[in-house]
Chain A
Amino acid sequence: MTRILIKGGRVIDPANNTDEVKDILIEDGKIVAGHGSRVTGQEVIEAKGKWVLPGLIDMHAHLRDPGRPDKETIASGSRAAALGGFTTVCCMANTNPPVDNPAVVEYVVAKAAREAVVNVRPIAAVTKGLKGEELAEMGRCRAEGAVAFSDDGQPVMRADLMRRALEYAKQFAVPIISHCEDSNLSADGVMNEGALSTEIGLPGVSHLAEEIMVARDIMLARQFGLVHLAHISTAGAVRLVRQAKVEGVPVTCETCPHYFSLTEAAVKEYDTNAKVNPPLRSAGDVTAVVQGLKDGTIDVIATDHAPHTLEEKTIEFSLAKSGLVGLETALALVITKLIIPNVLSPAQAVEKLAAAPARILNLAGKGSLRPGSDADLIVVDPHAEWTVDAAKFASKGRNTPFSGWTLKGRVLQTIVGGKIVVRDGKLVA
């Protein structure tokens, strides 16, 4: 019997209403009740002064597998996740081939079982080939292990199709994750539309491209059920979701660390590492996103981890791919930008990084440290300061706008299913 005792840490487990110093005992891959000191033959992890958290769950990452092993693989992406404190990663379907049929879902699940050091759960496509024309086989994909459905990377532009997708997905009780972008409005825009896009002469994307789709999806969800809005980035989108929740619409949403840590000013010198979709927004939008996190409008913090090669980023801004890597910086950005400035309590942050994603995706045994849960947990030193160095990422992606930033909060141990994957901040799996 494998036993691990995590001793004397501050256990922050909002799903279990817990925030107190206590020991956590792991037996055979599960959290068990009781005090560890009575048990012999166990490994002891000293966690005094540290936080002990349920393993984080990223419900929005691009692992580029199958298709682009030069950008990322399930293996490399899962290592990045482990270092960043994520014990479960849900990977998006816009791979090559896309995850739009049961065979590719099975490939992801099988490859993850072989190579991943954390749990990897596929999100399957809403439509065949992500083309927005015909529904993909959601039921068969679900049966192979898809935890949600999304054409993320592009919107489902047709309202009739989105309606059918929401209706049809109801029988599986999993959400459709909507990439909210009206692509006619965003057109050839490459950054947020406003005074700055005017100043530096790049085509802009109006905040309305996001908000009009958010509004549409809220109206559809009101009648047809569960929608989760990916990467919310504008003040208007936050306002729409807040109102929808007041009215009881079954809608949840996420934002990403870059939308509360950076404004559009990051692209001022044409820095392609800050090119992302939706684009980095104005200071007012950042304030609204932060407020949305604080008042609970925004349920989840996800990474939208989007690795790209150096070649795809070291070109003209308009030609560069959108996206940035986030798995290895997300928690430290949450601590530095939200917890230290008292926007969120540690428990509220863990709610958004673990408990809420588990609840939204119905991930049984995840997102909490209550006895009987899977032993997915992390030990974090919230005070440890470190400087972001993209060259040291376990991810193959180096495309981060946070290079050189000094952040607080370091993952010391990552335990997945009772197995130590990160020990003292180093990968050991």
Chain B
Amino acid sequence: MNKVKGLKSKDLLGLKDLAVEEISLILETARSMKEVISRPIPKVPTLLGKHLVTLFYEPSTRTRTSFNLAAKVLSANVTNVALSSSSVSKGETLIDTVKNLEVMGTDCLIIRHGLGGAPHLAARHTRASIINAGDGFNEHPTQGLLDIFTMLDKKKSVAGKKALIVGDIAHSRVARSNIWGLTKLGAHVTVVGPPTLIPAGIEQLGVKVSYDLDAELKDADFINMLRIQRERMAKSFFPSLEEYSELFGLNAERMRRAKKDVIVMHPGPINRGVELTSEVADGPYNVILDQVTNGVAVRAAILFLLLGGKTRRNHRAVSAK
């Protein structure tokens, strides 16, 4: 495999846009970061003086905290900005918000937004780096990367392995980022869920579709359980959480049919008793908390690769253009 020194783009918008070499570079860098984080004093001066802003139009605890910790490990400054999605149409435009943050001296904006393509729009209007922390149903690249990092941590390789992604594929950015990344790395991906939550034409992304979790479970190496949103029920995507859980939830009995060394993942937050019973969520095959730990390392790696070693930009000159 060709080694690359850095990422091609100033932004990380999705795994769709990354070359295999770039994915490998991020994962490799994340391994070094994981070592840094495990030190007694987990702090290096790499991004000293860099300013990051998390700009979240949707609530998040895990992802935002993870980015904050990652930034702090690298000695970057972080400012957190939370805006409600409902004010988007009335208030300042995304582009104006991004440009204002840029001229305040922000090197990198970490954006979460309820609408697909919003970080892409932002990226076209600023020279600051944009990291997509989840956009609508589109992508959540840092989650996808930390999922893959966790899989590689446990299994050495994903190539030729069978990965299941289970649940609300239609509305899941985690699913899409996993699909892009895993298929690029040679994994066999099967998406499993009720037909109402399998989006049109998903096979064209190189995955298999199944509605039968039990049938797929037997030879799976990885199972990534997606969070199901209660509000989908109101729109008749499925009739009840109980039925959903029976058909597409993981419980101890179902797990007995899985491979002994299967890895169970969940991007969180878990609806206990719906996607996973507590027995499974806290069971031996789960790596859910590893995912969270690895998230910090992966995000630190991305920050390092996007921002490390670069001199401060002349923001004023850029925005005057």
**A positions within 8 Å CB-CB of B:** 193-204, 206, 269-270, 311, 314-319
With A316-B88, A318-B136, A319-B89 given, is the CB distance from A197 to B200 under 8 Å? Answer: yes
Q: Is the CB of B204 within 8 A of A317?
A: no
User: Top 5 closest A-B pairs, CB basis?
Assistant: A201-B138, A195-B201, A270-B117, A201-B116, A198-B199
**Which of A195, A203, A311, A316 has most B Cβ within 10 Å?**
A316
Does B185 interact with chain A (Cβ within 8 Å)?
A: no
Contact, CB under 8 Å: A316 / B204: no
In the complex with contacts A197-B200, A319-B88, A202-B205 CB distance below 8 A = no
Q: What chain A residues lie within 8 Å of B115 (beta carbons)?
A: 316-319
Contact A201 B139 (CB under 8 A): yes
- Establish whether residues A201 and B200, one from each chain, have CB atoms under 8 Å apart when the complex forms: no
Query: Which chain B residues border A311 with CB–CB below 8 Å?
Result: 93
Chain A facing B: main interface SS: loop
For A204, what are the chain B residues with a Cβ–Cβ distance below 8 Å?
199-200
**Which of B176, B199, B205 has the largest count of A CB atoms less than 10 A from its CB?**
B199
Cβ-defined contact, A201 with B89, below 8 A: no
* Chain A residue with the shortest CB-CB distance to B120: A270
Most chain A beta-carbon contacts within 10 A, residue among B116, B121, B170, B205: B116
Give the nearest-CB partner of A193 in chain B.
Answer: B200
**Could you tell me the distance between the alpha carbons of A202 and B171 in the complex, rounded to whole angstroms?**
9
Residues of chain A within 8 A of B93, CB atoms compared: 311, 314-315
B 99-115 contacts with A by CB, 8 A: 113, 115
Q: For chain B residues 193-231, which have a beta carbon within 8 Å of chain A? A: 199-205
Docked-complex contact B118 and A316, CB < 8 angstroms: yes
Known: A270-B117, A316-B121. A201 touches B201 (CB 8 A): no
- B285 lies within 8 A of chain A by Cβ: no
Residues of A within 8 A of B135 (CB): 201
Please measure, in the bound complex, the distance between the C-alpha atom of A269 and the C-alpha atom of B170, giving whole angstroms: 20
Contact B138 A198 (CB under 8 A): no
Contact A203 B137 (CB under 8 A): yes
Q: Which of B68-126 contact A (CB under 8 A)?
A: 88-89, 93-95, 113, 115-118, 120-121
Whether A317 and B116, one on each chain, are in contact in the complex, defined by CB atoms closer than 8 angstroms, is: yes
Out of B89, B170, B205, name the residue touching A199 (CB < 8 Å).
B205
Assembly CA distance A311 to B94 (angstroms): 11
**Residues of the B chain whose Cβ atoms lie less than 8 Å from the Cβ of A319:** 88-89, 115
User: Does B173 count as interface, using CB distance less than 8 angstroms?
Assistant: yes
Find chain A residues with CB under 8 A from B121 CB.
270, 315-317
- Which residues of chain A are near B113, meaning CB under 8 Å? 316
A314–B121 alpha-carbon span in the complex (Å): 9
- Contact in complex: B95, A197 (CB < 8 Å): no
Contacts of B138 in A (CB 8 A): 200-202
* CB pairs A–B below 8 angstroms (5 shown): A200-B117, A201-B138, A201-B173, A270-B120, A316-B117
List B residues 122-153 near A (Cβ within 8 Å).
135-139
- C-alpha gap A270/B118 in the complex (Å): 9
The smallest C-beta distance from B123 to any residue of chain A, in angstroms, reads 11
Please measure, in the bound complex, the distance between the C-alpha atom of A244 and the C-alpha atom of B203, giving whole angstroms.
Answer: 35
The distance from the CB of A59 to the nearest CB of chain B, in whole angstroms, is 32
Candidates A194, A200, A270; contact of B200 at CB < 8 Å: A194
Q: Assess whether B117 is in contact with A317, with CB atoms less than 8 Å apart.
A: yes
- Is A202's CB under 8 angstroms from B117's CB? yes
Interface pair A196/B201, CB less than 8 Å apart: yes
| Residues B137 and A201 in contact, CB atoms below 8 Å apart | yes
Query: Do A197 and B88 form a contact, CB below 8 Å, given A270-B120, A314-B93?
Result: no
B117: chain A residues at CB < 8 Å are 200-202, 270, 316-318
Question: In this complex, what residue of B is CB-closest to A315?
Answer: B93
**Residues of B close to A314: CB separation below 8 A:** 93, 95
By a CB distance below 8 angstroms, the chain B residues around A199 are 16, 176, 201, 204-205
In the complex, what distance in Å separates the CA atom of A201 from the CA atom of B172?
8
Tell me the smallest distance from the CB of B15 to a CB of chain A, in Å: 12
- Cβ of A198: which chain B residues have Cβ within 8 Å of it? 170, 199-202, 204-205
Whose C-beta in chain A lies nearest to the C-beta of B136?
A201
Minimum CB–CB distance from B198 to chain A (whole Å) comes to: 9
CA of A194 to CA of B200 in the docked complex: distance in angstroms? 5
Q: What is the bound-complex CA distance between A194 and B202, given in angstroms?
A: 8
